Amino acid sequence: MKEEIYFSDEKAQKFAERIREKNPLFICVIGNTETAKIPGISAAGANPEITDFTPPADVELLFYGRCRCIDGVPITPDGIPTPALITMSALELAEIPKRTVVGGLNVYPKAPYVELGGLPGRSIQTGNAVDKVEEVLENAKTFGKSISSTVDYLVIGESIAGGTTTALGVMTAMGIDAGGKVSSSMSSNPHDLKMRVVEEGMENAGITPGELKNDPIRAVSCLGDPMIPAFAGLVIGAAEEIPVLLAGGTQMGGVLSMVRAMNPDVLKNTAIGTTRWIISDEQADLQGIVKQIGDIPIIAANLDFSKSEHDGLRAYEREVVKEGVGAGGITIAAMLKCEEITIKDIVDKVEENYGKLTDF
């Protein structure tokens, strides 16, 4: 097993031991932000206008094995398929239950979901990106606390196009140096564009970097997205009681910044679960972000699509997409839940599912 999972340190290994053979619940938090429609920002959709459909389509894939609000599956402009394929395969193999939580959407999934009263986000260029942050956070805390008594631990992932840019916005407003460190779904990471968008937003909000260090509600309201307060609230509500694996890449920096500012104590019950593609991403620096926030261990699944028969999956080895929909974290959770499940089993299941979904 060891070579199949990367641990940042001994603390990461200890976290894995705590959740080994335990029963998790997977929650996918979804949202939309107009930030995704700025040309060149997001590849989480075949074109910017369709990025609104990616999060609902992702969770439909998890629940029904096929998308309902779009044909096929979400793809990048180059045709690379959504990491939700990995998530659905791992959930299926390990029989892990799942929920969808909505932060704020333009397009709703044709599947059951938990509503927290949020609204879709505006572009962070406005400096006034998200409404009802406090209400969503409170509702998410209530839901997270309530759900914590029914499962051993939570794995929380997200799907929101444009999410690394909004994470950069929140982190910058809260004094985390994340410029040049957030990942991208594209093979060439548009760091300069992202930072220009964040700077425009800060100017319109009338704030300077680090000014909102102790005001996470305002940081997210000005420069975040509606996924963040929902995700952060779930973590705060649940991690007082049970371990929480934050399943994602550099977007987790925005979530964790909010969690730390509201309730730093719960961080000791958290870890980040992600993919090898994020750890080896030379155009980003997850560990450089996380160490500024706290001593939070990182665990990564050594997913490998290099031998895939599908071009769309082999592309993951060329540093596209990399992570999303909790793919890395749920792969780890599947292997820890069932000792007999290997990375190869999950990769084979992804091959099979992708084959079925693209077999016309």
Helix (H, G, I), strand (E, B) or coil at 271: strand
Query: Between residues 80 and 154, which has the closer beta carbon with respect to its own copies?
Result: 154
User: Cα dist. 131→28, 70, 246, 344 in Å?
Assistant: 21, 27, 24, 43
Query: Between residues 115 and 177, which has the closer beta carbon with respect to its own copies?
Result: 115
Query: Closest approach of Cβ 330 to its own copies, in Å?
Result: 15
- The packing angle between helices 252-262 and 286-293, to 10°, is 0
Query: Closest approach of Cβ 116 to its own copies, in Å?
Result: 5
Query: Closest approach of Cβ 148 to its own copies, in Å?
Result: 8
Contact predicate 201/169, CB 8 Å: yes
Distance CA 206, CA 155 (A): 36
Residues in CB range of 196: below 8 A, 6 or more apart: none
Contact predicate 334/301, CB 8 Å: no
Residues in CB range of 356: below 8 A, 6 or more apart: none
Query: Closest approach of Cβ 255 to its own copies, in Å?
Result: 18
Helix (H, G, I), strand (E, B) or coil at 121: strand
Query: Between residues 98 and 349, which has the closer beta carbon with respect to its own copies?
Result: 98
Beta strand pairing call for 153-159 and 98-104? unpaired
**Which residues of the chain form contacts with its own copies (CB under 8 A)?**
23, 25, 63-64, 95, 97-99, 102, 108, 110-117, 135, 139-140, 142-143, 146-147, 149-151
Query: Closest approach of Cβ 137 to its own copies, in Å?
Result: 11
Query: Closest approach of Cβ 176 to its own copies, in Å?
Result: 28
Query: Between residues 153 and 316, which has the closer beta carbon with respect to its own copies?
Result: 153
Query: Between residues 99 and 322, which has the closer beta carbon with respect to its own copies?
Result: 99
Query: Closest approach of Cβ 117 to its own copies, in Å?
Result: 7
Query: Between residues 118 and 312, which has the closer beta carbon with respect to its own copies?
Result: 118
| 237, containing H or E segment | helix 227-239
Query: Between residues 101 and 171, which has the closer beta carbon with respect to its own copies?
Result: 101
On the CB side of 43, CA atoms within 13 Å amount to: 23
